[in-house]
Amino acid sequence: MILDDLPTPCLVLDRGILQTNLDTMSRAVARHGVALRPHMKTAKSIDVARLAMASRDAAVGGITVSTIAEAEYFAAHGINDILYAVGITPQKLDQIAKLNAAGAAIMVVTDDLDVAGAIASHARPPQTLIEIDCGEARGGIAPDDPALTAIATRLGTRFAGVMSHAGHSYAGRSVADMRVLAEAERQAALRAVAHLRAGGFGIEIISVGSSPTALHAETLDGVSETRPGVYMFGDLFQAQIGTNGLGAIAVTVLASVIGRRPAERRVLVDAGALALSKDRSTQAVPVDYGFGLALDINGHPTLGHSIVSRANQEHGVIDLDPLAQLPAMPIGTKLRIAPNHTCLTSAAHDRYYVVDGGDTVVAIWPRVNGW
Amino acid sequence: MILDDLPTPCLVLDRGILQTNLDTMSRAVARHGVALRPHMKTAKSIDVARLAMASRDAAVGGITVSTIAEAEYFAAHGINDILYAVGITPQKLDQIAKLNAAGAAIMVVTDDLDVAGAIASHARPPQTLIEIDCGEARGGIAPDDPALTAIATRLGTRFAGVMSHAGHSYAGRSVADMRVLAEAERQAALRAVAHLRAGGFGIEIISVGSSPTALHAETLDGVSETRPGVYMFGDLFQAQIGTNGLGAIAVTVLASVIGRRPAERRVLVDAGALALSKDRSTQAVPVDYGFGLALDINGHPTLGHSIVSRANQEHGVIDLDPLAQLPAMPIGTKLRIAPNHTCLTSAAHDRYYVVDGGDTVVAIWPRVNGW
């Protein structure tokens, strides 16, 4: 099977680019002697998880997930050491307990005293990290908040450490920015740890990270692990904040031309808002790619700056680069579209058609979507 | 099972609101004596399709779909009269032919002379409508384009009529606007038909529409059918362009509070960019609801203007209405979130949890996602 045989729209994953991205991150993290706990929320695939784990310096260490569906899926495939990194609710503890009773070792996170109480009083309480806000202003409590030791006390023997997420690193625009943000996150985590140690608490896990900070941190001294995710695939947004090169985007959407508007120098494709997502991340960075950048079927940037300017449910409108010499594109011509935000684009699709540089489909890897 | 028992995030469909929306549209279309061919791209559910078909004036008439996956699914459930309303490619004709050989009567659309040739020369060519651009500037040729009769000629016996989509009606802001747009679409379709009739072609189907124009058209004289879709569920955007009232939104996302930031008057929920979509349609209309409007678990607007101001992959940040008297919202509290654009929000979910006014789940209806 070759790419030109595939039904469109669908997701194409280049295994060679993926492997390079995995190895780049593994080396970057190994410099610091901390564990790499890859976040599987982007790939949601056991095949990708196995490559990510094999790429690490040491065979030890678990993964991170963002949904209980992912936790169930990866546990069913034999990965036991899992951090579910979205604030737990009391109602979800039974599902976690069921997986742990079956052999998994899923840790959860909280920043709430009442939830800490619910965890401690559960019949099968999971190990729990306290979420620290290192500046993102989403989940977590401030490192100096007195609630920190109160939550740890309430968790009792279930308290296992702290977790932060430098999601605000996406506001950074350079390697220098990422170094500053990574250091601020490290300092925030360590300040929380200092308070906890002063209170007599033992700390097993100090978990930080995002792809750009994991890649560019100057030091992770004192930290025990980092949790990047999007680095595996890369995207147009991450390319502009220094995580990956434009040529290192591993996932693209294969689409067919379904309409031609030569007078307007436009083509329509069958990848619209559902196949690409409505994510407009690149609106905030120097080069705005609309809803994605059109590449040829081989994934090469031979179409210049031809971008998806409009995305209806199943229609994408591509504004063709006025300066590029373009081939004829009859109806049915296949293109590939690099995504703004690969996590959201991938989530619309139930599988990857895997290639390895060429146009031969060497594997089909399923994804675990939903909740 | 009641709503409070459900895993979150998930999709809740209120059957009573759905039925009212279906009946409102059926009456609006019946006024004109034209057929209602409901577009199933929003609901993607056989259960909803059956209600939509039963609500129509006459039991006759088919449906519209936007993907081949929908065509396969609805045909497998016994609906044969299907219009696949996204420009066909030559490569997709085999899939259509296979379904038609098994008893379906799937029609396709094109605006391209080469594709018309591919259809005519296929071993089992489907009936085909020519897509007319009535001002949306997406798919379709202009009604006065000489290619019109050339394509009809090329299609030969497969030519069955014309189709247009008034997608630009979404730029309308009032019932008066919708009347103007509906009339412009009707005129464009009839101009194309006049050219074709002058060329000696018989026309079986003259298919127009969008939810707002189907609802508000003053006349559909000369048209044979209309294809609204989003009217079944409604959403925050459609509420502001006159398709539905705010209280007539049938689909909401059930979410759990997973974090509290009282100092910032915010809560976090477990419905983020994947569960809600990144659609920002309401950015263009008077009231901007961010990524959705928070309602209480009963779907009532008791939280004032509390909106999802930020949507990361699995985290939604709700800015609570500073003027509303709000109840305590401990972690685990369930809310419902009305979507900006129900087609995109629904597509992230594989099923509807159906209620009928109250909080009892009376049914679970699956959806057909993907391609």
pLDDT value at residue A172: 86
Q: What angle do CA A91, B333, B341 make, to 5 degrees?
A: 110
Nearest CA among B32, B107, B40, B111 for reference residue B69 = B40
Return the structure tokens found at A96.
């976690």
The pLDDT score that the predictor gives to residue A136 is 84
Chain A residues touching B110 at Cβ < 8 A: 331
Residue in chain A lying closest to B139 (CA): A259
Chain A positions in Cβ-Cβ contact with residue B67 (cut-off 8 Å)? 314
Residue pair A92/A67 in contact by the 8 Å Cβ criterion: no
What's the rounded Cα separation, in Å, for the pair B112 and A330? 9
Residues of A in contact with B258 (CB under 8 A): 86-89, 139
Interface A-B: count of C-beta contacts within 8 A:
147
Are B167 and B184 spatial neighbours (Cβ–Cβ below 8 Å)? no
pLDDT band at A59 (very low <50, low <70, confident <90, very high): low
Cβ proximity of A35 and A61 under 8 Å: yes
Residue to test with chain B: of A3, A40, A274, most B Cβ within 10 A: A274
Give per-residue pLDDT as tens, A178-221: 999 999 999 999 999 999 999 999 999 999 989 999 999 999 99
CATH 2.40.37.20 fits A3-11+244-366, yes or no: yes
Distance from C-alpha of A121 to C-alpha of A181, rounded to nearest angstrom: 37
Rounded CA-CA distance A202/A182 in Å is 24
A288-322 pLDDT, tens digit each: 999 999 999 999 999 999 999 999 999 999 999 99
Residue A364 has pLDDT above 70, yes or no: yes
Q: How much is the pLDDT for B136?
A: 84
Residues from chain B contacting residue A330 (CB–CB below 8 Å): 114
Q: Count Cα atoms within 13 angstroms, Cβ side, for B244.
A: 30
**Dihedral sign computed on CA atoms, order A164, A165, A168, A174:** positive
Q: Say if residue A58's pLDDT is above 70.
A: no
CA B312 to chain CA mean position, Å: 25
Are B85 and A258 within 8 A, CB to CB?
no
Q: Do A273 and B279 touch (CB under 8 A)?
A: yes
Q: How confident is the model at residue B173 (pLDDT cuts 50, 70, 90)?
A: confident
| pLDDT in the model for residue B331 | 98
Quote the pLDDT of residue B170. Answer: 79
Query: Please, where are the H alpha helices in chain B?
Result: 15-30, 46-55, 68-76, 93-101, 113-120, 147-155, 175-198, 211-216, 236-240, 273-276, 342-346
Query: A314 and B66: CB-CB below 8 Å?
Result: yes
Delimit the domains of chain A by residue range.
3-11+244-366, 16-232
| Residue located via tokens 């390079």 | A20
Strand pairing report for A316-319 and A307-311: antiparallel
d(CA B73, CA B45): 9
The string of DSSP codes covering B197-209 is HHTT----EEEE-
A347 vs B contacts (CB less than 8 Å): 274, 348
Cis-peptide into B9, omega within 30 deg: yes
- CB distance B331–A138 less than 8 Å? no
What single DSSP character describes residue B351?
E
Q: Identify which of B112, B264, B278 has the shortest CB distance to residue A344.
A: B278
pTM check: above 0.95: yes
Identify from A96, A111, A278 which residue to disrupt to test chain B contact, counting B C-beta atoms within 10 A and taking the largest count: A278
> Which of A268, A369, A371 lies closest to B138 in CB terms?
A268
Dist. CA B371–CA B368, nearest whole Å: 9
Question: Is pLDDT of B59 > 80?
Answer: no
Integer Cα distance of A138 and A86 in angstroms: 11
Beta-carbon separation of A87 and B331 below 8 A: yes
β-bridge partners, A208: A226
| For chain B, percent of residues with pLDDT exceeding 90 | 94
Share of chain A above pLDDT 90, in %: 94
For B301, the 3-state DSSP assignment is coil
Q: Tell me, what's the pLDDT at B58?
A: 67
Single out the residue of B345, B348, B229, B341 nearest to residue B280, CA to CA.
B341
CB B204 within 8 Å of CB B161: yes
The closest alpha carbon to B335, from B238, B280, B265, B257, belongs to B257
Contact B167 A312 (CB under 8 A): yes
Cα–Cα distances (Å) from A302 to A7, A80, A298, A325, B48, in that order, read 23, 44, 10, 9, 44
What band does B166 get if pLDDT is binned at 50, 70 and 90? confident
DSSP readout, B74-104?
Answer: HHHTT--EEEE-S---GGGHHHHHHHHHTT-
Nearest neighbour of A7 by CB, restricted to B349, B350, B371: B371
Residue A60 has pLDDT above 70, yes or no: no
Confidence of residue B168 (pLDDT cuts 50, 70, 90): confident
Q: Tokens standing for A229?
A: 């995710």
Give B10's contacts in chain A (Cβ within 8 Å).
371
* Residue B90 pLDDT: 98
Nearest beta carbon to residue A344 from set B138, B274, B369: B274
Beta-carbon separation of A87 and B264 below 8 A: no
CA-to-CA distance for B204 and B249, rounded, in angstroms? 35
Q: Which residues does A234 contact at the CB level (< 8 Å), separation at least 6?
A: A17, A21, A243, A244, A245, A248, A249, A250, A342
Rounded average pLDDT over A104-109: 98
- State which CATH number among 3.30.420.10, 3.40.50.150, 3.20.20.10, 3.80.30.20 fits the domain covering A16-232: 3.20.20.10
CATH class of B17-231: alpha beta
What confidence score (pLDDT) does residue B167 get? 79
Tell me the average pLDDT across A22-47: 96
pLDDT at B172: 86
Question: Contacts of residue A274 in chain B, CB cutoff 8 Å?
Answer: 344, 347
Q: Which of A129-138, B50-59, B148-157, B219-228 has the lowest mean pLDDT?
A: B50-59
**Residue B144 burial by CB count (10 A; 0-12/13-18/19+): exposed, middle or buried?**
exposed
Q: Give Cα separations from B218 to B135, B172, B179, B182 (angstroms).
A: 19, 15, 6, 8
pLDDT at residue A271 in the model? 98
* Mean pLDDT to the nearest integer, A235-241: 95
Report residue A239 as tokens.
Answer: 């390319």
Here the ipTM equals 0.97
- What the block records as the tokens of A10 is 């669908």
pLDDT at A171: 84
Q: Give the integer Cα–Cα distance in Å for A178 and A171.
A: 9
Q: What is the pLDDT of residue B60?
A: 67
- Could you tell me the two tokens for B339? 């979507």
CA B213 to CA B220: how far, in whole Å? 10
Checking if the pLDDT of B235 tops 80, the result is yes
For residues A68 and A84, the answer to whether their CB atoms sit within 8 Å is yes
pLDDT in tens, B79-128: 999 999 999 999 999 999 999 999 999 999 999 999 999 999 999 999 99
Instruction: Specify whether the CB–CB gap between B251 and B11 falls below 8 A.
Output: yes
H, E, C per residue of chain A:
CEHHHCCCCEEEEEHHHHHHHHHHHHHHHHCCCCEECCECCCCCCHHHHHHHHHHCCCCCCCEEECCHHHHHHHHHCCCCEEEECCCCCHHHHHHHHHHHHCCCEEEEEECCHHHHHHHHCCCCCCCEEEEECCCCCCCCECCCCCHHHHHHHHHHHHEEEEEECCHHHHHCCCHHHHHHHHHHHHHHHHHHHHHHHHCCCCCCEEEECCHHHHHHCCCCCCCCEECCCHHHCCCHHHHHCCCCCHHHCCEEEEEEEEEEEHHHCEEEECCCHHHHCCCCHHHHCCCCCECCEEEECCCCCCCCCCEEEEECCCCEEEECCCCCCCCCCCCCCEEEEECCCHHHHHCCCCEEEEECCCCECCEEEECCCCC
Going by C-alpha positions, the residue among A101, A91, A302 that lies closest to residue B2 is A91
Burial class (CB in 10 A: 0-12, 13-18, 19+), B239: buried
Compare all CA atoms of chain A with the CA of B93 and give the residue at the minimum distance: A332
Same fold, A3-11+244-366 and A16-232: no
* Total length of chain B: 371
Phi, psi torsion values for A117, nearest 5 degrees: -65, -40
Residue among B91, B167, B279 whose CB faces A278 most closely: B279
Phi, psi dihedral angles at B190 (to 5 degrees): -70, -30
Are residues B371 and A257, on separate chains, in Cβ contact within 8 Å? no
Per-residue pLDDT reduced to its tens digit, B318-369 = 999 999 999 999 999 999 999 999 999 999 999 999 999 999 999 999 999 9
pLDDT at residue number B224: 96
